[in-house]
Structure 1
């Protein structure tokens, strides 16, 4: 395939050199060939996608421009509302629910000419790091079917890695785009909090959730980011004013840019030696390309994991209280009274990990413990923000590992939640700070599976973040699937 599959496909369709219908059929054929093994999707939108692709071709035939994503297949995480199409969050409690409206990002990609091919599998309500917590079964890593794709947006990462779609949307609350991107060897981006609308994203933790792109290349990720970013009056947390332009400086290199290698994240608990070596090699490559690279301490990041697993479950316990058998989705039958119905509905509808986090969060918010747990975690969050702000006084971007290692075997970490939670040790600090961060493929581990490097930037720093990512991509050692990219 060519350098930027989505960009090139869209250009060919807009020029009338390719048919959007033909492009779609090629991708649906790949889905038909291997989806039974991978299970990237909860729903494949074959006929709806064909209608949408036909509308793109009709627009081209009329001499109209269908948009910057003309005819490009895109996969949508199944926690993004899609009108008249099931949106399950991979939970039994929402099985079969069809929203009456589209999420803003879904509207924007459709208006740009993209063709949605399916709704992707995820850890239930986006709670997990392996996509093994789905009520509909795990997704497998297309590069090694015995391994996880990461999570919670594992279905979206797998869909891009498997060639089912050049682009996908996921959500990132503590690393749920970047970690699976690293494990599947694709690019994954968490934008600045408030730059991309959360309207129509089913909430997990409202102060942390962000929608962002997956792509095979940095250029394609920038294309999708520029389509979905921007103020949305329907989202009260949406930032006013113009959004950063991710594609503005992709080819400008890194000469003179200041890059900080985060000491605490390179030395974080549980990182494999090859992940650390790869991250340092990426820093050396940037230095060789003209960047000014040095180590930088962001001390409070060492408390990120602890703070996150109080704040996120607390917000989840509040957000998920609406799933009660009355307002949405599943309702248990045969209950003697409404209290019994509530208990039975939530017991049947939620999986073990969701129940665990609801209980954690409810405890952290309870009388007598609020200040000691939730309040203290929010104070730690403030320290993390301050420490990042101090680092960005001296550096344009920061660098760290994305995930502790390569994709691990299915079932290896499900018995120990704490071991599973460590998968997000390097990604969580950016969510707590509200800053953008992205994962870029960086070669492979000894097992032949992908490694990823994380680039972090200050709030609204997407332009320079993508600039550095494009430079890293150009210098990256060969990894699995690199020839396809």
Structure 2
């Protein structure tokens, strides 16, 4: 699938409308995506598990339901990929590790169950790093196969599916979205249930989504969001209503704060220049601010919480086959075992301090603007790249979105990250929609 074909691909919301109104069948849509997968999968290696016959069978059931006049969900007949850390009753779930080879869950995760209830077709399971940590899988960046994709965004970027579900405990939604040039949305912590998802860190684990436009990302989060008694981070609330409210924001332009954050020293020169130019374009709508001094230690605080909880939740299982655990994950587990209870509790207290400070910032600003990654996707496949620009926002549980509106010096995508207050996911998407419009308008004027 060429870049031009990907740009012309209709979004998931358009597909769902066409499916409901009979302009296209689910079987036709699935066949189109399977053809793209057949063409590009040998080069990109996006799938851990794919069964074309099963995908076709799901499509036929979806078409039969429409023809019978049954009620149709908001994603009826739309293909969606799921990261291979979410349990699926019809596909293996192996967490990117030989330790879990052949694992077949009996029940769907909350994510898979909600997708099916919405009528979506679970097209396949996308590759994950080892237990969703640092040791990369075989997936390559569709813009340049010699570079890392950073995570699960590659299949959406390559046009193999319109939507995908991923996770973020550090940077595994925002970073790969930046590297692959798609929209990556990490909602507020607890908005989407993690039942049936690999448990790394209850404090930090988020469910996130990848899409080719903001409307589609909002639609997918609306489908997945909701209270689940099995996940204590979720809470009873009204429908998120992100897709419905996306284009109904206030008429006044938002007020943004540019935040360098604790990882600014990692930003590549081209990234700094790109954000300088963006700041010039936004003018007085963007104000540069410095976070208080304690934020300088935020990434260390994140690592303390992460490794301690990782060692607690994964350590016993992995200890049964240490020879099958990568050096990267072994190091994380060892770091976690060394964390003292006093230091762990202190890190949780710092998280609360950060959130109180951010609440004050969000009284003045609608959203914060910051890089999504240090730069373009790095060369090579030995690493998934640095999550340093994501760790603080994951630690605090704030909603964040990566917007594919910038470009690096090698012509690779460069994401722009927006962050909003906890629970303010709709405002985040409205600001993102405004910013995308501003940048598109400026690009049009420049031609």
TM-score, with normalisation over the residues of structure 1? Answer: 0.85
Quick check: 1:226–1:246 contact (8 Å CA) kept in 2?
Answer: yes
1:330-369 equivalences in 2 (<5 Å): 345-364=320-339, 369=340
Q: Does 1:382 align with 2:362?
A: no
Look up the match of 2:289: 296
Q: Supply the distance in 1 between the matched residues of 2:85 and 2:304 (Cα, whole angstroms).
A: 22
Please give the alpha-carbon distance, in whole angstroms, between the structure 1 residues aligned to 2:244 and 2:27: 31
Alignment-derived partner of residue 132 in structure 2? 126
SS in 1 for 2:321: helix
What is the CA–CA distance in structure 2 between the aligned matches of 1:123 and 1:319, rounded to whole Å?
17
Q: Pick the aligned partner of 1:249 from 245, 261, 276.
A: 245
Question: Does structure 2 conserve the Cα–Cα contact (< 8 Å) formed by 1:185 and 1:450?
Answer: yes
Unaligned stretches of 5+ residues in structure 1: 325-342, 415-419, 479-485
How far apart are 1:261 and its partner, in Å? 1.1
Call closer, same or farther: CA 1:437–1:168 in 2, change over 3 Å: same
**1:475 has 2:446 as partner:** no
Gap runs ≥5 in structure 2: 1-6, 442-447
CA distance in 2, matches of 1:389, 1:3: 39
Q: Following the alignment from structure 1 to structure 2, what is the Cα–Cα distance between the partners of residues 426 and 249?
A: 28
Q: Residue 204 of structure 2 aligns to a residue in which SS?
A: coil
Equivalent residue, structure 2, for 1:187: 183
Moved more, 57-66 or 209-218: 57-66
> How far does the alpha carbon of each residue in 1:227-274 deviate from its partner, in whole angstroms, 9 at most, with x for none?
111111222221221243222432246624221111436x71210122
- Residue 339 of structure 1 corresponds to none
Distance 1:268 1:145 in 2: 27
Aligned counterparts of 1:248 and 1:269: Cα–Cα separation in 2: 39
Q: CA deviation at 1:111?
A: 1.2
Q: Say whether 1:317 aligns with 2:292.
A: no
Q: Which of residues 367, 370, 373 is equivalent to 2:341?
A: 370
Larger CA deviation: 83-92 vs 246-255? 246-255
- 8 Å Cα contact 1:103/1:199 also seen in 2: yes
Q: Is the 8 A contact 1:4 1:219 kept in 2?
A: no
User: Does 1:5 find its partner at 2:11?
Assistant: yes
1:228 is matched with: 224
| 2-structure distance, mates of 1:175, 1:122 | 13
Shift in Å at residue 279 of structure 1?
3.0
Alpha-carbon contact 1:278-1:442 (below 8 Å) kept: no
- Distance in 2, Cα, partners of 1:247 & 1:273: 36
Rounded to whole Å, the distance in 2 between the matches of 1:81 and 1:274 is: 40
Contact 1:303–1:380 (8 Å) recurs in 2 = no
Distance in 1, matches of 2:72 and 2:383, equals: 45
- The CA distance in 2 between the partners of 1:477 and 1:269, in whole Å, is 29
Residues 1:146 and 2:146 are matched in the alignment:
yes
Deviation larger for 247-256 or 105-114:
247-256
CA-atom RMSD, angstroms? 2.0
2:174 counterpart of 1:178:
yes
**1:450-461 mapped onto 2 (5 Å cutoff):** 450-461=413-424
Match of 1:53 among 37, 59, 67: 59
Judged with a 3 Å threshold, the aligned counterparts in structure 2 of structure 1 residues 107 and 411 are, in CA distance, closer, same or farther, namely closer
2:357 is equivalent to residue 394 of structure 1: no
CA drift of 1:4 comes to 5.1
Map Cα deviations across residues 300-332 of structure 1 (whole Å, 9 max, x no partner): 3321211111110110011113426xxxxxxxx
Distance (whole Å) between structure 2 residues aligned to residue 94 and residue 316 of structure 1: 17
Offset, 1:477: 5.6
In the TM superposition, what is the alpha-carbon distance from 1:53 to its structure 2 partner?
0.9
Query: Cα offset for 1:282?
Result: 3.8
Deviation at 1:431, TM superposition (A): 1.2
Give, in angstroms, the shift of residue 475 of structure 1.
Answer: 3.4
Retained in 1: the 8 A contact 2:34–2:52?
yes
User: Could you give the per-residue CA deviations for residues 112-170 of structure 1, whole angstroms, max 9, x where no partner exists?
Assistant: 11111111111111112xxxx24xx42100110000001xxx1x300100111000000
Matches of 2:398 and 2:277 in 1, distance apart? 24
- Whether contact under 8 Å (2:178, 2:402) holds in the other structure is yes
Is it true that 1:261 corresponds to 2:258 in the alignment?
yes
Q: 1:280 Cα shift?
A: 3.9
1:166 & 1:284 partners in 2: Cα distance?
33
In 2, the alpha carbon distance for the partners of 1:351 and 1:276 equals 34
Query: Given the alignment of the two structures, is residue 111 of structure 1 paired with residue 117 of structure 2, yes or no?
Result: yes
Cα offset for 1:176? 0.7
Provide the residue aligned with 1:166 in structure 2: 162
